[in-house]
Protein backbone atom coordinates (compact mmCIF):
# COMPACT_ATOMS: atom_id res chain seq x y z
CA UNK A 1 0.00 0.00 0.00
CA UNK A 2 1.50 3.33 -1.02
CA UNK A 3 1.17 6.57 0.90
CA UNK A 4 -1.78 7.86 -1.15
CA UNK A 5 -3.73 4.65 -0.58
CA UNK A 6 -2.92 4.74 3.12
CA UNK A 7 -3.99 8.39 3.45
CA UNK A 8 -7.19 7.71 1.53
CA UNK A 9 -8.00 4.75 3.83
CA UNK A 10 -7.43 6.91 6.92
CA UNK A 11 -9.74 9.62 5.58
CA UNK A 12 -12.43 7.06 4.83
CA UNK A 13 -12.09 5.68 8.37
CA UNK A 14 -12.40 9.14 9.92
CA UNK A 15 -15.44 9.93 7.78
CA UNK A 16 -17.09 6.67 8.83
CA UNK A 17 -16.41 7.36 12.51
CA UNK A 18 -17.81 10.86 12.22
CA UNK A 19 -20.89 9.51 10.51
CA UNK A 20 -21.35 6.90 13.23
CA UNK A 21 -20.82 9.46 15.98
CA UNK A 22 -23.73 11.48 14.55
CA UNK A 23 -26.04 8.48 14.68
CA UNK A 24 -28.52 8.57 17.56
CA UNK A 25 -29.07 5.05 18.77
CA UNK A 26 -32.12 5.43 21.05
CA UNK A 27 -35.57 6.99 20.85
CA UNK A 28 -38.31 7.77 23.32
CA UNK A 29 -41.69 8.93 22.14
CA UNK A 30 -45.45 8.67 22.08
CA UNK A 31 -48.33 8.36 19.67
CA UNK A 32 -51.82 9.73 20.23
CA UNK A 33 -54.86 8.72 18.15
CA UNK A 34 -58.22 10.45 18.38
CA UNK A 35 -61.12 11.14 16.06
CA UNK A 36 -61.44 14.67 17.51
CA UNK A 37 -58.11 15.57 15.83
CA UNK A 38 -60.06 15.79 12.55
CA UNK A 39 -62.51 18.36 14.01
CA UNK A 40 -65.55 16.52 12.67
CA UNK A 41 -67.44 16.35 15.95
CA UNK A 42 -67.58 12.53 15.89
CA UNK A 43 -66.79 10.25 18.82
CA UNK A 44 -67.31 6.72 17.59
CA UNK A 45 -65.79 3.30 16.95
CA UNK A 46 -61.99 3.50 17.42
CA UNK A 47 -62.14 6.78 19.28
CA UNK A 48 -58.85 7.06 21.22
CA UNK A 49 -55.42 5.48 21.50
CA UNK A 50 -52.33 6.42 23.49
CA UNK A 51 -48.96 4.66 23.16
CA UNK A 52 -45.56 5.29 24.77
CA UNK A 53 -42.50 3.60 23.28
CA UNK A 54 -38.75 3.23 23.62
CA UNK A 55 -36.58 2.13 20.68
CA UNK A 56 -32.94 1.11 20.64
CA UNK A 57 -30.67 0.41 17.70
CA UNK A 58 -28.95 -2.91 18.39
CA UNK A 59 -25.38 -3.95 17.65
CA UNK A 60 -24.77 -6.00 14.53
CA UNK A 61 -21.59 -8.06 14.61
CA UNK A 62 -21.09 -7.94 10.87
CA UNK A 63 -22.98 -5.49 8.67
CA UNK A 64 -23.68 -7.38 5.47
CA UNK A 65 -27.20 -8.18 4.32
CA UNK A 66 -28.57 -7.16 7.73
CA UNK A 67 -27.77 -3.47 8.24
CA UNK A 68 -30.03 -2.41 11.10
CA UNK A 69 -31.77 -4.04 14.05
CA UNK A 70 -34.17 -2.11 16.28
CA UNK A 71 -35.69 -3.24 19.57
CA UNK A 72 -38.95 -1.56 20.64
CA UNK A 73 -40.70 -1.68 24.01
CA UNK A 74 -44.20 -0.20 24.15
CA UNK A 75 -47.22 0.24 26.40
CA UNK A 76 -50.55 1.35 25.03
CA UNK A 77 -54.30 1.65 25.41
CA UNK A 78 -57.09 1.66 22.83
CA UNK A 79 -60.72 2.70 23.42
CA UNK A 80 -63.69 1.67 21.28
CA UNK A 81 -67.21 3.15 21.31
CA UNK A 82 -70.48 2.55 19.52
CA UNK A 83 -71.71 5.39 17.30
CA UNK A 84 -71.38 7.58 20.40
CA UNK A 85 -69.92 7.37 23.88
CA UNK A 86 -73.43 7.96 25.21
CA UNK A 87 -76.24 5.55 24.38
CA UNK A 88 -78.88 7.35 26.46
CA UNK A 89 -82.23 7.54 24.64
CA UNK A 90 -85.15 9.34 26.29
CA UNK A 91 -83.14 9.58 29.51
CA UNK A 92 -82.31 5.86 29.74
CA UNK A 93 -79.36 3.78 28.43
CA UNK A 94 -80.51 1.78 25.40
CA UNK A 95 -78.27 -1.16 24.36
CA UNK A 96 -80.05 -1.26 20.97
CA UNK A 97 -78.03 1.89 20.17
CA UNK A 98 -74.76 -0.13 20.43
CA UNK A 99 -73.76 -0.72 16.80
CA UNK A 100 -70.16 -1.50 17.83
CA UNK A 101 -69.35 -2.81 21.33
CA UNK A 102 -67.77 -0.70 24.05
CA UNK A 103 -64.26 -2.02 24.68
CA UNK A 104 -60.94 -1.03 26.17
CA UNK A 105 -57.60 -2.68 25.39
CA UNK A 106 -54.52 -2.22 27.60
CA UNK A 107 -51.22 -3.90 26.78
CA UNK A 108 -47.45 -4.01 27.02
CA UNK A 109 -45.37 -5.33 24.16
CA UNK A 110 -42.07 -5.59 22.41
CA UNK A 111 -40.81 -6.06 18.87
CA UNK A 112 -37.58 -6.72 16.99
CA UNK A 113 -37.23 -5.01 13.62
CA UNK A 114 -34.73 -6.65 11.24
CA UNK A 115 -33.81 -4.37 8.32
CA UNK A 116 -31.80 -5.44 5.29
CA UNK A 117 -29.56 -3.75 2.73
CA UNK A 118 -32.00 -4.63 -0.08
CA UNK A 119 -34.57 -2.43 1.73
CA UNK A 120 -36.79 -5.18 3.05
CA UNK A 121 -37.60 -5.69 6.70
CA UNK A 122 -39.30 -8.12 9.07
CA UNK A 123 -40.70 -6.84 12.36
CA UNK A 124 -41.69 -9.53 14.84
CA UNK A 125 -43.69 -8.48 17.89
CA UNK A 126 -45.67 -9.71 20.87
CA UNK A 127 -48.34 -8.01 23.00
CA UNK A 128 -49.63 -9.11 26.40
CA UNK A 129 -52.61 -7.40 27.96
CA UNK A 130 -56.32 -7.40 28.67
CA UNK A 131 -59.57 -6.40 26.97
CA UNK A 132 -62.41 -5.45 29.30
CA UNK A 133 -63.04 -3.43 32.47
CA UNK A 134 -59.47 -4.09 33.70
CA UNK A 135 -58.18 -2.14 30.68
CA UNK A 136 -59.72 1.03 32.24
CA UNK A 137 -61.16 2.27 28.97
CA UNK A 138 -64.16 3.91 30.64
CA UNK A 139 -61.98 5.71 33.20
CA UNK A 140 -59.54 6.97 30.57
CA UNK A 141 -62.35 8.25 28.35
CA UNK A 142 -64.01 9.91 31.33
CA UNK A 143 -60.78 11.81 32.09
CA UNK A 144 -60.62 13.01 28.48
CA UNK A 145 -64.25 14.15 28.49
CA UNK A 146 -63.92 15.88 31.88
CA UNK A 147 -60.70 17.61 30.83
CA UNK A 148 -62.07 19.01 27.56
CA UNK A 149 -65.66 19.54 28.62
CA UNK A 150 -67.19 16.86 26.40
CA UNK A 151 -70.57 15.18 27.00
CA UNK A 152 -71.32 12.72 29.82
CA UNK A 153 -70.61 9.07 29.02
CA UNK A 154 -73.17 6.30 29.34
CA UNK A 155 -73.26 2.66 28.35
CA UNK A 156 -69.91 1.30 29.52
CA UNK A 157 -71.73 -1.25 31.71
CA UNK A 158 -72.34 -3.14 28.44
CA UNK A 159 -68.63 -3.34 27.52
CA UNK A 160 -66.74 -6.46 26.47
CA UNK A 161 -65.89 -8.50 29.58
CA UNK A 162 -62.34 -9.18 30.75
CA UNK A 163 -60.37 -11.43 28.43
CA UNK A 164 -56.58 -11.97 28.51
CA UNK A 165 -54.57 -11.11 25.41
CA UNK A 166 -51.45 -12.80 24.07
CA UNK A 167 -50.88 -11.80 20.47
CA UNK A 168 -48.05 -12.16 17.97
CA UNK A 169 -47.50 -9.90 14.97
CA UNK A 170 -45.37 -9.90 11.84
CA UNK A 171 -44.83 -6.87 9.59
CA UNK A 172 -43.04 -6.99 6.24
CA UNK A 173 -41.98 -4.26 3.80
CA UNK A 174 -40.06 -4.49 0.52
CA UNK A 175 -38.98 -1.67 -1.79
CA UNK A 176 -40.33 -2.15 -5.32
CA UNK A 177 -39.25 0.99 -7.21
CA UNK A 178 -37.71 4.41 -6.57
CA UNK A 179 -36.58 7.57 -8.27
CA UNK A 180 -35.30 10.80 -6.73
CA UNK A 181 -38.56 11.97 -5.16
CA UNK A 182 -41.01 9.05 -5.19
CA UNK A 183 -40.86 5.37 -4.27
CA UNK A 184 -43.18 2.38 -3.98
CA UNK A 185 -43.12 -0.28 -1.26
CA UNK A 186 -45.09 -3.51 -0.81
CA UNK A 187 -46.36 -4.00 2.76
CA UNK A 188 -47.94 -6.87 4.64
CA UNK A 189 -49.06 -7.54 8.21
CA UNK A 190 -50.22 -10.60 10.15
CA UNK A 191 -51.69 -10.82 13.68
CA UNK A 192 -52.39 -14.09 15.47
CA UNK A 193 -53.34 -14.81 19.07
CA UNK A 194 -56.13 -14.84 21.62
CA UNK A 195 -57.59 -11.44 20.62
CA UNK A 196 -56.69 -10.40 17.07
CA UNK A 197 -56.44 -12.67 14.04
CA UNK A 198 -56.14 -10.83 10.75
CA UNK A 199 -53.98 -10.27 7.69
CA UNK A 200 -53.45 -7.13 5.60
CA UNK A 201 -51.60 -6.35 2.36
CA UNK A 202 -51.12 -3.25 0.25
CA UNK A 203 -48.68 -0.73 -1.25
CA UNK A 204 -47.12 2.38 0.27
CA UNK A 205 -46.19 5.42 -1.83
CA UNK A 206 -43.80 8.10 -0.50
CA UNK A 207 -43.22 11.52 -2.07
CA UNK A 208 -40.53 13.97 -0.95
CA UNK A 209 -37.18 13.64 0.83
CA UNK A 210 -37.10 10.13 2.28
CA UNK A 211 -34.34 7.76 3.36
CA UNK A 212 -33.74 4.08 2.75
CA UNK A 213 -36.21 1.76 4.46
CA UNK A 214 -33.48 0.54 6.84
CA UNK A 215 -33.11 4.04 8.32
CA UNK A 216 -36.44 5.81 7.97
CA UNK A 217 -39.45 7.16 9.82
CA UNK A 218 -41.53 4.88 7.57
CA UNK A 219 -40.25 1.67 9.18
CA UNK A 220 -39.57 3.01 12.71
CA UNK A 221 -35.84 2.50 12.13
CA UNK A 222 -34.26 5.93 12.72
CA UNK A 223 -32.67 4.62 15.93
CA UNK A 224 -29.65 2.88 14.46
CA UNK A 225 -26.03 1.95 14.99
CA UNK A 226 -25.11 1.59 11.33
CA UNK A 227 -22.88 4.07 9.52
CA UNK A 228 -24.46 3.77 6.06
CA UNK A 229 -25.03 7.25 4.70
CA UNK A 230 -28.74 8.13 4.41
CA UNK A 231 -30.12 9.63 1.23
CA UNK A 232 -30.95 12.85 3.12
CA UNK A 233 -29.84 14.41 6.41
CA UNK A 234 -33.51 15.11 7.13
CA UNK A 235 -36.63 13.34 5.97
CA UNK A 236 -39.79 15.22 5.02
CA UNK A 237 -42.25 13.29 2.92
CA UNK A 238 -45.90 12.54 2.31
CA UNK A 239 -47.19 9.00 2.11
CA UNK A 240 -50.28 7.06 1.16
CA UNK A 241 -50.86 3.49 2.28
CA UNK A 242 -54.08 1.69 1.28
CA UNK A 243 -54.52 -1.80 2.78
CA UNK A 244 -56.81 -4.75 2.13
CA UNK A 245 -57.64 -6.41 5.46
CA UNK A 246 -59.14 -9.81 6.19
CA UNK A 247 -60.40 -10.08 9.79
CA UNK A 248 -60.87 -13.59 11.17
CA UNK A 249 -61.39 -12.62 14.84
CA UNK A 250 -61.48 -9.41 16.90
CA UNK A 251 -62.00 -9.76 20.64
CA UNK A 252 -62.92 -6.06 21.01
CA UNK A 253 -66.00 -6.97 18.94
CA UNK A 254 -66.66 -10.64 19.71
CA UNK A 255 -65.35 -11.01 23.26
CA UNK A 256 -63.16 -13.85 24.48
CA UNK A 257 -61.82 -16.30 21.92
CA UNK A 258 -60.75 -18.91 24.50
CA UNK A 259 -62.64 -20.04 27.62
CA UNK A 260 -65.72 -18.31 26.29
CA UNK A 261 -68.51 -18.42 28.90
CA UNK A 262 -71.99 -17.01 29.19
CA UNK A 263 -72.15 -13.58 30.80
CA UNK A 264 -73.65 -14.11 34.29
CA UNK A 265 -74.73 -10.46 34.44
CA UNK A 266 -76.40 -10.54 31.02
CA UNK A 267 -74.89 -7.10 30.27
CA UNK A 268 -72.11 -7.77 27.76
CA UNK A 269 -72.99 -6.72 24.19
CA UNK A 270 -70.88 -8.31 21.45
CA UNK A 271 -70.98 -8.15 17.66
CA UNK A 272 -69.75 -9.78 14.47
CA UNK A 273 -66.80 -8.37 12.50
CA UNK A 274 -67.02 -7.47 8.84
CA UNK A 275 -64.44 -9.90 7.43
CA UNK A 276 -63.25 -7.62 4.61
CA UNK A 277 -62.15 -4.12 5.59
CA UNK A 278 -60.39 -1.50 3.45
CA UNK A 279 -58.15 1.05 5.17
CA UNK A 280 -56.37 4.17 3.97
CA UNK A 281 -53.49 5.92 5.74
CA UNK A 282 -52.49 9.36 4.49
CA UNK A 283 -49.82 11.32 6.30
CA UNK A 284 -46.63 13.31 6.53
CA UNK A 285 -43.42 12.25 8.28
CA UNK A 286 -40.39 14.26 9.41
CA UNK A 287 -37.12 12.96 10.81
CA UNK A 288 -34.34 15.32 11.86
CA UNK A 289 -31.13 14.96 13.80
CA UNK A 290 -32.91 14.33 17.09
CA UNK A 291 -36.67 14.64 16.53
CA UNK A 292 -39.27 12.62 14.62
CA UNK A 293 -42.69 14.15 13.95
CA UNK A 294 -45.64 12.74 12.08
CA UNK A 295 -49.33 13.30 11.45
CA UNK A 296 -51.63 10.78 9.82
CA UNK A 297 -55.28 10.52 8.82
CA UNK A 298 -56.68 6.97 8.89
CA UNK A 299 -59.94 6.08 7.14
CA UNK A 300 -61.50 2.61 7.52
CA UNK A 301 -64.52 0.98 5.98
CA UNK A 302 -66.84 -0.62 8.54
CA UNK A 303 -65.22 -3.42 10.55
CA UNK A 304 -68.40 -4.52 12.34
CA UNK A 305 -71.49 -5.68 10.45
CA UNK A 306 -73.93 -3.68 12.57
CA UNK A 307 -72.15 -0.31 12.31
CA UNK A 308 -74.50 2.48 11.32
CA UNK A 309 -71.79 4.39 9.46
CA UNK A 310 -69.93 2.82 6.55
CA UNK A 311 -66.61 4.53 7.35
CA UNK A 312 -64.83 5.93 10.35
CA UNK A 313 -61.70 8.03 10.59
CA UNK A 314 -59.27 9.49 13.10
CA UNK A 315 -56.07 11.49 13.32
CA UNK A 316 -52.75 10.29 14.71
CA UNK A 317 -49.88 12.38 16.12
CA UNK A 318 -46.43 10.83 16.54
CA UNK A 319 -43.52 12.48 18.40
CA UNK A 320 -40.13 10.96 19.26
CA UNK A 321 -36.83 12.27 20.61
CA UNK A 322 -33.60 10.55 19.57
CA UNK A 323 -30.53 10.44 21.81
CA UNK A 324 -27.41 8.45 22.70
CA UNK A 325 -24.43 7.29 20.66
Q: Would you say residue 76 has pLDDT above 90?
A: yes
DSSP letters, 73-125, are EEEEEEEEESSSSB-EETTEE-GGG-SS--EEEEEEEEEEEEEETTSEEEEEE
Per-residue model confidence as pLDDT tens digits over 85-117? 999 887 778 888 999 999 999 999 999 999 999
pLDDT confidence of residue 150: 86
pLDDT confidence of residue 176: 98
Whether the Cβ atoms of residue 322 and residue 223 lie closer than 8 Å to each other: yes
Whether the Cβ atoms of residue 72 and residue 110 lie closer than 8 Å to each other: yes
Whether the Cβ atoms of residue 49 and residue 32 lie closer than 8 Å to each other: yes
Per-residue model confidence as pLDDT tens digits over 124-180? 999 999 999 999 999 999 999 999 888 889 999 999 999 999 999 999 999 999 998
pLDDT confidence of residue 23: 55
Whether the Cβ atoms of residue 171 and residue 152 lie closer than 8 Å to each other: no
In angstroms, the CA 246 to CA 279 distance is: 11
- Give the pLDDT band (50/70/90) at residue 13: very low
Per-residue model confidence as pLDDT tens digits over 184-194? 999 999 999 99
In angstroms, the CA 195 to CA 101 distance is: 15
Across all residues in the chain, what is the average pLDDT?
A: 90
Per-residue model confidence as pLDDT tens digits over 228-279? 888 999 999 999 999 999 999 999 999 998 777 777 777 899 999 999 999 9
Instruction: Please give the class, per CATH, of domain 24-323.
Output: mainly beta
pTM for the whole structure? 0.89
Q: Would you say residue 4 has pLDDT above 50?
A: no
Whether the Cβ atoms of residue 278 and residue 243 lie closer than 8 Å to each other: yes
In angstroms, the CA 268 to CA 250 distance is: 15
Amino acid sequence: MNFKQFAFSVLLGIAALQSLAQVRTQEFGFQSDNDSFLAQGSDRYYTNGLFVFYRRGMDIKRIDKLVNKVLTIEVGQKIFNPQSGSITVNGQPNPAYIDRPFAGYLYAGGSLNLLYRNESNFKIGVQVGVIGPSAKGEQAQQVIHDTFGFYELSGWEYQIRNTPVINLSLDYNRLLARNEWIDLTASGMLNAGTAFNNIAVGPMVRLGNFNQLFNSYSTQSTATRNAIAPLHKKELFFYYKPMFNYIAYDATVQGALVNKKDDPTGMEVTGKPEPIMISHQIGVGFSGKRVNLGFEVAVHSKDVKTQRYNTHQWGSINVAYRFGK
